[in-house]
Amino acid sequence: MRRPIDSLFGRLALLVVAVLLISHFAWFVLIRVERSQSQARYAVEEAAFLIDAVRQHVARTPSVPLPSRVRLVDPASPEVPAADQELPPALKRFVEDVRERLPPGSLVRVGAPGRPPILWVHEAADRDWIVVPMLALHPPRPRDKMLAWLGTIFSVAVMCALFVAWRLQQPLAALAGAVVRFGRGQSVPPLAERGPRELRELTRGFNQMVREVSRTEQDRAVMLAGVAHDLKTPLARLRLRAEMMEEAKLRDGVVRDVDSLAHIVDQFLVFAHDATDRSEPVVVDEQCERIARSYRAVAPGSPAVRTELAAGPDFRLPAATLERIISNLLDNAHAYGAPPVIVATARRTTGWELSVSDHGRGISPQDLVNASRPFVRLDPARGGNGHSGLGLAIVERLVRRLGGVCEIGNAQDRGLRVAMTFPFTTATRAAPHSESAW
């Protein structure tokens, strides 16, 4: 099961959201603290300014009455607050800040609780206590407009950051898809070099690698096709001369060897062929049943072929490709396996499955890795029976060309089993042309 967090975009999105969330929370806390400190500083400056204004008013215009909430109180009055009064932490810090703001030796006290906040100040040169109103200190509200603004900014920042992350991972996603297609043997057009500098260099290197590998494959295909094509005419003449021999035993042996060589040449041509199969898609179940009947009819001495077809009419593959796959696997089972040979189809959760299995000795585990390598014969003693070691390599190439996966292994009840899984979109990707490229 694919998880979104496993993708590059998912991890970038998670990182972006986490960083933005932490940064916005830090800014929110910092702004609240700074706003509280700014309010306290403003209240201290306002109190110092008001006290200085009262002192100047008394010194210059003593006959003019003071405002209603500003008054002078005799130090002996019982209204003077006690020096050891208990204050809340915020108010206690405010009193200390006012005392630091005033000249040294100043006394600062706060009026009795339950009344509007009143500040009592007495400096060394003052005759009376100066009583002035003070700005009330209100703690920041838990919910205010700042939360809404931060939420809006956070949402816009997340959307912009996710868009940038998506744009950054697009070239990498295209490169990953191209690597998967190239690994399956499908054609890969050159990728656009975009994105950061490192990604552009990686894409440029991948394009160069694809070109070099494609050029090497083309050279090998041309060489194999040329050699195989040039061998067809001498083989035809050799067969004709062999059939003209009078000794039957010698004639049969030479004809059998010529047929083996012709079969190897045909395998070379099929392996070298790299064109897209444009034959009409056919129902795999019906075509497998038809191939099995034909195989039993033309090769009565071959291992018995059974079919277990359960995929249904929706499983379709190009006719020529399917013919090559089944024929190569049946020939391989005939040469190396034991009856019965079972051709089976099924619909799995991962895609369509086509498998061919026999009941022979199978392949040793250490040889499974080399089973589909071209020109590798796991049974060297049978090198002269017309097998070139290309059968399974051709099957794997054809399967990969259709976007499928080929798995070669031993069945539970002995024997070799070749299981091919095709995506559900295989039939829809097949070209609708009727001509065969084979």
Ordered strands of the 118-122 beta sheet: 71-73, 129-133, 118-122, 107-110
Q: How far apart are the first and last CA of the chain?
A: 38
The pLDDT, as a whole number, for residue 292 is 84
| pLDDT per residue as tens digits for the range 155-168 | 888 888 888 777 77
pLDDT at position 380 over 50: no
The domain defined by 276-438 folds into Heat Shock Protein 90 (3.30.565)
| pLDDT per residue as tens digits for the range 105-144 | 888 888 776 566 788 888 877 888 888 887 666 555 555 6
Query: Is-contact 241 274, C-beta < 8 A?
Result: no
% pLDDT > 90, the chain: 2
Contacts of 118 (CB under 8 A, 6+ apart): 69, 110, 111, 131, 132, 133, 134
pLDDT at position 70 over 60: yes
The pLDDT, as a whole number, for residue 29 is 77
The pLDDT, as a whole number, for residue 433 is 39
In sequence order, what are the beta bridge partners of 363? none
Report the predicted TM-score, pTM, of the whole model to 2 decimal places.
0.46
Residue of higher predicted confidence among 434 and 272: 272
The pLDDT, as a whole number, for residue 174 is 85
Sketch the domain layout of the chain as residue ranges: 4-133, 276-438
Look at phi and psi of residue 259 and say left if phi exceeds 0, alpha if psi is from -120 to 50, else beta. Answer: alpha
pLDDT at position 1 over 60: no
pLDDT at position 384 over 50: no
Residue by residue, DSSP assigns 132-201 as: EE-----PPPSS-HHHHHHHHHHHHHHHHHHHHHHHHHHHHHHHHHHHHHHHTT---PPPP--SSHHHHH
pLDDT at position 64 over 50: yes
The pLDDT, as a whole number, for residue 103 is 84
The position carrying tokens 């976007």 is: 403
The pLDDT, as a whole number, for residue 354 is 92
Tell me the pLDDT band of 5, cut-offs 50, 70 and 90. low
Residue among 86, 79, 89, 94 nearest 47 (CA): 94
CA 221 to chain centre: 35
Mean pLDDT, residues 288-297: 81
Query: Is-contact 239 251, C-beta < 8 A?
Result: no
pLDDT at position 337 over 80: no
3-state helix, strand, coil in the chain (%, to 5): 55, 10, 35
pLDDT at position 370 over 70: no
